[in-house]
Amino acid sequence: MKVPTIKVPGLRRWKVDDLPGVTAVARIDRRTKRLTKRLRPGEIAIIDHVDVDRVSAEALVACGAAAVINVAAGVSGRYPNLGPQIIVEAGVPFIDNADPELFERIKDGDVIRVHDGTIYLDGEVVGKGRVQTAESIEAAMTEARAGLAVQIEAFAANTMEYVRRERDLLIDGVGVPEIRTSMEGRHVLIVVRGYHYKEDLATLRPYIREYRPVLIGVDGGADALIEAGYLPDIIVGDFDSVSTKAITCGAELVVHAYRDGRAPGLDRVRKLGRDAVVFPATGTSEDIAMLLADDKGADLIVAVGTHATLVEFLDKGRAGMASTFLTRLRVGSKLIDAKGVSRLYRSRVSTSSLLLLVLATLVVIAVALNVSPVGRIWLNGLYDFWNGFVFWLVGLFS
């Protein structure tokens, strides 16, 4: 039986000779978050990402990837990461452990074909990988859960190492830079491009409108704020995943640097003609955003898209995520996590109910006007005005 060809919408037209599989333009990058910025719907993503995390998987799916080829292990077995499962459940073909030579054989923009784990370029086989299915991913996840205890021990060790290195910053706030933006006694909203950040931002609109908190975007979180219709007051991060539009929007910039003072993101900021404050710290950018807000006297810190659970820390794929655990202890009761607000609360008033309410209100107003003497005068006035308007309108065409 002939295997049908998967036709991907939005692709340029080229001759594929009715070959089976997915034929599309390839976008290739070793950093997934950098790739998703230029990945278009219907294109094939080629990445090098061990333990594909949930945020990266959701970004690939949201971009409309026709297929995802990973030259690394999508589930290495270190911990039960959720990324591969999200990709497969979205109906996107996922191939991992592909030949690393793909990064030399395929150029960005090449038209390739993927079928049964084999990658073709100009009709020739350039690599092979393992096709992941829901069953194979579930089996790998079961094994990964068995080894989770080892990761917890490593996480605890990393936490103690962070305490040793950053005890002055955590306990006394030593090393927090001075900034122009005032936070004293104000609410601060910190946005990270993490789980459910779009939905939670939408749910928080009334809160933002009423309290007007200081808006801090952490790396791509700055673009998330702009996409939601807000301008960030401060952008914190290493600036490798922040758009030029965000950097030049007028926000105060805080560049996350290594403990020795090296700040790779500072060069990009200066090339765009912007000044920045440097914040050397061992932790993550979301950590220093929280520490900055706490040190500058924020009354309340609301976090959107940040990491809150052990699996999320491990899913980030960095030993440094242990710092986030201690940072949350340091900030204490000031911190409110908005994660999942959109799932906890949804408006139960439907559009039809609102329309019915408006209609009922209009009926009540009409009845009230009709039964009162003053109301009748108003109704007669409106009736005369309407007749005059119709007469004037007819006169334009006569």
Q: Is 281 exposed, middle or buried (0-12, 13-18, 19+ CB in 10 A)?
A: buried
Position 5 pLDDT exceeds 60:
no
- How far separated are the first and last CA of the chain, in Å rounded? 71
What mean pLDDT is predicted for residues 223-240? 94
pLDDT (0 to 100) of residue 340: 59
Q: Phi and psi for 256 in degrees, rounded to 5?
A: -75, 120
pLDDT (0 to 100) of residue 157: 72
Position 267 pLDDT exceeds 50:
yes
pLDDT band at 351 (very low <50, low <70, confident <90, very high): low
pLDDT (0 to 100) of residue 350: 60
pLDDT (0 to 100) of residue 315: 62
- For residues 311 and 173, is the Cβ–Cβ distance under 8 A? no
Position 137 pLDDT exceeds 60:
yes
pLDDT (0 to 100) of residue 346: 53
> How much of the chain, in percent, has pLDDT values that exceed 90?
47
Give the amino acid at 13.
R
Q: Which residues of 107-116 are buried (b: 16+ CB within 10 A; e: fewer)?
A: eeebbbbbbe
Give counts: helices (H), strands (E), the chain: 17, 16
pLDDT (0 to 100) of residue 12: 42
- Summarised one tens digit per residue, pLDDT across range 366-375 is 777 677 777 6
Integer angstrom CA distances of residue 325 from 155, 254, 282, 301: 10, 22, 13, 16
Region 5-144: CATH code:
3.50.30.10
101 vs 126: CA distance, rounded Å: 8
pLDDT (0 to 100) of residue 345: 52
pLDDT (0 to 100) of residue 134: 93
320 vs 238: CA distance, rounded Å: 15
Listed in sequence order, the residues at least 6 apart from 25 whose beta carbon sits closer than 8 Å to its beta carbon are: 11, 12, 40, 42, 43, 44, 109, 110, 111
What is the number of other CB atoms lying within 10 angstroms of the CB of residue 124?
A: 8
What is the number of other CB atoms lying within 10 angstroms of the CB of residue 202?
A: 11
pLDDT (0 to 100) of residue 195: 75
What is the number of other CB atoms lying within 10 angstroms of the CB of residue 178?
A: 6
- Summarised one tens digit per residue, pLDDT across range 40-89 is 999 999 999 998 988 889 999 999 999 999 999 998 887 788 899 999 99
3-state SS assignment for residue 280: strand
47 vs 33: CA distance, rounded Å: 10
258 vs 280: CA distance, rounded Å: 5
- Summarised one tens digit per residue, pLDDT across range 303-350 is 998 866 666 666 655 555 567 767 777 787 888 888 656 555 555 556
- Highest-pLDDT range among 171-185, 209-223, 329-343: 209-223
pLDDT band at 4 (very low <50, low <70, confident <90, very high): very low
Q: Residues 103, 266, 54, CA angle at the centre, nearest 5°?
A: 50
pLDDT (0 to 100) of residue 155: 67
Position 106 pLDDT exceeds 70:
yes
Least reliable range by pLDDT among 78-87, 140-149, 339-348, 351-360: 339-348
- For residues 87 and 136, is the Cβ–Cβ distance under 8 A? no
pLDDT (0 to 100) of residue 259: 80
Integer angstrom CA distances of residue 14 from 24, 25, 76, 156: 9, 11, 37, 54
Position 100 pLDDT exceeds 50:
yes
Position 131 pLDDT exceeds 80:
yes
pLDDT (0 to 100) of residue 2: 39
Q: Where do the structural domains in the chain lie, given as residue ranges?
A: 5-144, 148-344, 351-385
pLDDT band at 15 (very low <50, low <70, confident <90, very high): very low
pLDDT band at 17 (very low <50, low <70, confident <90, very high): low
* Mean pLDDT rounded to a whole number for the chain: 83
Q: Is 175 exposed, middle or buried (0-12, 13-18, 19+ CB in 10 A)?
A: middle
- Residue 242 region, left (φ>0) first, then alpha (ψ -120 to 50), else beta? beta
For the entire predicted model, the pTM comes to: 0.64
pLDDT (0 to 100) of residue 300: 93
